[in-house]
Amino acid sequence: MISRLHDPDYDRWACQIKRTGGCRQPIHLRGKVEHYDQATGRLLHRYSTTTEPNGVLRVPCKTRRVTRCPACAEVYRADTYQLVRAGLVGGKGVPETVKSHPCLFVTLTAPSFGAVHTRREKNGKTLPCHARRNAETCPHGQAMSCTDRHSSDDPRLGEPLCAECYDYDGSVLFNAISPELWRRFTLALRRRFARLNGLTVKAMRSQVSIAFAKVAEYQRRGVVHFHAVIRLDGPDGPDTPPPAWATADDLDQAVQHAAAAVTAEVKPLGRAFRWGTQLDSRRITLEGDLTDQAVAAYIAKYATKAAECVGTLDRRIQPLDDLNALPVREHARRLIAACMRLGSRSGLADLRLTHWAHMLGFRGHFSTKSRRYSTTLGALRAAREEHMRTEEITTGRLPLFDEDTVLVVAHWQYAGQGLSLGEQLLAAALTGVPLPSVGGGPR
298 with 292: CB under 8 angstroms?
Answer: no
Q: Which is nearer to Zn ion, 409 or 435 (CB)?
A: 435
For residue 265, give every residue at least 6 positions away whose Cβ sits within 8 Å of its Cβ, in sequence order, or none.
177, 271, 272, 273
Of 281, 244, 365, 296, the C-alpha closest to 90 is 296
Q: Which CB atom, from 131 or from 349, has the smaller least distance to Zn ion?
A: 131
| Closest separation in Å from C-beta 401 to Zn ion | 30
Residue 56 backbone dihedrals phi, psi, to 5 degrees:
-135, 155
Q: Nearest approach, Cβ of 74 to Zn ion (angstroms)?
A: 10
Widest CA span in the chain: 90
Decide whether 14 or 23 has the Cβ nearer to Zn ion. 23
The minimum distance between CB 24 and Zn ion, in angstroms, equals 6
CB of 149 to Zn ion, least distance (A): 9
Which chain residues interact with Zn ion by CB under 5 A? 23, 60-61, 69, 72, 117, 129, 138, 140, 142, 146, 148, 162, 164-165
For Zn ion, the closer CB: 88 or 129: 129
| Distant-in-sequence, close-in-space partners of 216: CB < 8 Å, separation ≥ 6 | 178, 224, 225, 226, 302, 362, 364, 365, 366, 367
CB atoms within 10 A of CB 130: 18
Query: How is the beta sheet containing 224-233 ordered, strand by strand?
Result: 279-283, 103-108, 224-233, 209-218, 367-369
Q: Is 94 exposed, middle or buried (0-12, 13-18, 19+ CB in 10 A)?
A: buried
Residues 6 or more apart in contact with residue 277 via CB below 8 angstroms: 109, 111
Q: How far apart are CA 160 and CA 116, in angstroms?
A: 4
Minimum gap (Å) between residue 88 Cβ and Zn ion: 28
Which C-beta is closer to Zn ion: that of 245 or that of 414? 414
Non-local (6+) Cβ contacts of 267 within 8 A are 347
How far, in Å, CA of 274 to CA of 74, rounded? 33
Residue nearest to Zn ion (CB): 129
Nearer to Zn ion, 14 or 146 (CB): 146
The CB-of-9 to Zn ion minimum distance in angstroms stands at 22
CB of 164 to Zn ion, least distance (A): 4
16 vs 374 by CB, closer to Zn ion:
16
**In this structure, are strands 120-122 and 125-127 parallel, antiparallel, or unpaired?**
antiparallel
Taking the complex as a whole, how short is the minimal distance between the CB of residue 367 and Zn ion, in angstroms?
18
Beta strands in 61-182 (DSSP E): 103-108, 120-122, 125-127
In whole angstroms, how close is the CB of 118 to Zn ion at the nearest point?
7
Output 165 or 290, the one with its CB closest to Zn ion. 165
Residue 30 or residue 220: which is nearer to Zn ion going by CB?
220
